A and B are shown apart, each in its own frame.
Chain A
Amino acid sequence: NAGVMQNPRHLVRRRGQEARLRCSPMKGHSHVYWYRQLPEEGLKFMVYLQKENIIDESGMPKERFSAEFPKEGPSILRIQQVVRGDSAAYFCASFRSNEQFFGPGTRLTVL
Chain B
Amino acid sequence: QKEVEQNSGPLSVPEGAIASLNCTYSDRVSQSFFWYRQYSGKSPELIMSIYSNGDKEDGRFTAQLNKASQYVSLLIRDSQPSDSATYLCAVHYGGATNKLIFGTGTLLAVQP
Contact = CB atoms under 8 A, between A and B. Distances in A.
Interface string A1-43: 1000000000000000000000000000000010100000111
A37 to B, nearest CB: 9
A95 B34 CA distance: 13
Interface of A: 1, 33, 35, 41-45, 48, 55-56, 58-59, 91, 95, 98-105
Contacts of A55: 96-97
Contacts, number: 57
Contacts of A99: 34, 46, 49
27 contacts: A33-B100, A35-B102, A42-B102, A42-B103, A42-B104, A43-B100, A43-B102, A48-B97, A48-B98, A55-B97, A56-B99, A59-B99, A91-B43, A91-B44, A98-B32, A98-B51, A99-B46, A100-B46, A100-B100, A101-B46, A102-B44, A102-B45, A102-B46, A104-B42, A104-B43, A105-B42, A105-B43
B105 A42 contact: yes
B18 interface: no
Interface residues of B, number: 24
B101 interface: yes
B94 to A, nearest CB: 12
B43 A1 contact: yes
A59 B96 CA distance: 15
Nearest 10 pairs between A and B by C-beta?
A42-B104, A56-B97, A42-B102, A43-B102, A45-B99, A102-B43, A105-B43, A48-B97, A102-B44, A104-B43
B43 A103 contact: yes
Contacts of B32: 98
B100 A98 contact: no
A98 B98 contact: yes
Contacts of B51: 98
A55 B105 CA distance: 27
